[in-house]
Amino acid sequence: MKPSVLLLTLAFVLSGCGKEPPPAAKIEQAALTQVVGATVSGSGYVYSGEIRARHETQLGFRIGGKIIERLVDAGARVQAGQVLMRLDPGDTGLQASAAEAQYRLAEAEAKRYRELRNQNFVSQSALDAKETALKAAAAQAGLAGNQAGYTALRADHAGVIAATLAEAGQVVGAGQPVLRLAQDGEREVAIAIPETHYAGLKVGAPADVSLWSAGNDAVHFSGSLRELAPAADPASRTYAARVALSGTDARMALGMTAQVRFKDHGKRDQLIVPLAAIFQQGEQTAVWVVSADRSVSLRPVKVTAYRDDGAVIAGGVAAGERIVSAGVHKLSAGEKIRIIEGEFADGNAQ
């Protein structure tokens, strides 16, 4: 090969090695999005609660002792006067026998002193002392007999055993709860009211109650706020409340979960967004808003409540705007995304 041709070839190769490769096309990140539009306007706040009996009684023995028999289980239906538990009757039986013996002795002594008094062999004061001793012995025998009867725990009302708090073989003290009895009759829903909603509720407020177990075929019951605690629970910082139901229904089993919605409480225009759409930026909460050119920008919002079905926001975005509903921590301002349509659960108007 000629030297001139070799030099030209080498120069061409070197010039080709110095060029930079073309930049790779930037891949747009896919993001799940949705259009904001789930409002709670006119529906009020919804609280989850538990079906409870209007009257619940903690049952306990009137004396202490060892439980030898438990005759009912949780969920059992009982009648008034039915025996539910028994204590060991050994000690009370001995006490009753001793008291009865003392009474018989005092009775015999009083009878003898009455005969002696009729013959003027003893004074009236001596007879009065024996009569008093007889009355004391009779009272002691009656007390011992009552305590012997207290070894059987009986239901004071008809109802359902809501919980068993002691077992056979356990030694319990007088008055210690061993069973919880839910009486037949009225039913209520026990709920907890957060601090932010407390001021807007008053006793007597009308409510709509539905059972979770019914699903989409839920039957609604009317009720009213019967009781609202004046002080918050120190652990949960919520206020205990009871919603009385206007009637009873066979589907209202004790312990069932119910939804309570106060008709005149929390009526204002607000929007619900998925919890996964909330982006926490320091102390400020925000959401990623998608513009017409598919670029995203961070928009501060005000969250007024966190619910099971999403976060309730009062400002920052408007109904009809598109937001990113998942993967918010992977985005950056101005970035263009590939939109994936998503449907927020319970996205329809409440």
Q: Say what the alpha-carbon torsion angle 152, 157, 161, 163 is, to the nearest 10 degrees.
A: -80
Residue 350 domain-assigned (yes or no): no
Same domain, 78 and 157: yes
Same domain, 220 and 113: no
Mean per-residue pLDDT for 318-322?
84
Same domain, 71 and 162: yes
Q: What is the pLDDT of residues 135-151, one digit of tens each?
A: 999 999 999 988 888 99
Of the residues 139, 162, 182, the one at which a domain ends: 182
**Which pLDDT band, with edges at 50, 70 and 90, does 280 fall under?**
confident
Using CA atoms, how far residue 224 sits from 48, 207, 242, 248, 293, in Å, is 15, 5, 9, 14, 51
Domain span holding position 296: 29-41+269-341
| Residue 189 clears pLDDT 90, i.e. is over it | yes
- What is the CATH number for 275? 2.40.420.20
pTM: 0.56
Same domain, 63 and 176: yes
Same domain, 246 and 287: no
| Residue 16 clears pLDDT 60, i.e. is over it | no
Looking at per-residue confidence, does 126 or 265 come out higher? 126
Same domain, 175 and 81: yes
Same domain, 138 and 202: no
| Residue 92 clears pLDDT 50, i.e. is over it | yes
State both tokens at 97. 């026998």
Residue 76 domain-assigned (yes or no): yes
Q: What is the pLDDT of residues 241-274, one digit of tens each?
A: 999 988 777 677 888 888 898 876 655 556 788 8
| Residue 213 clears pLDDT 90, i.e. is over it | no
Most confident of 229-243, 264-278, 303-317: 229-243
Same domain, 162 and 210: no
Residue 34 domain-assigned (yes or no): yes
Question: For 63, phi and psi rounded to 5 degrees?
Answer: -135, 165
Same domain, 161 and 75: yes
Same domain, 156 and 80: yes
Of the residues 262, 278, 303, the one at which a domain ends: 262
Residue 104 domain-assigned (yes or no): yes
| Residue 62 clears pLDDT 90, i.e. is over it | yes
Range list of β-strands (E), 111-228: 152-154, 159-164, 171-172, 177-183, 187-194, 206-211, 220-228
Mean per-residue pLDDT for 121-146?
92
- The amino acid occupying position 46 is V
Same domain, 250 and 227: yes
If one counts the domains in the chain, the total is: 4
Of the residues 245, 262, 279, the one at which a domain ends: 262
- What is the CATH number for 176? 2.40.50.100
Residue 2 domain-assigned (yes or no): no
Question: For 312, phi and psi rounded to 5 degrees?
Answer: -90, 125
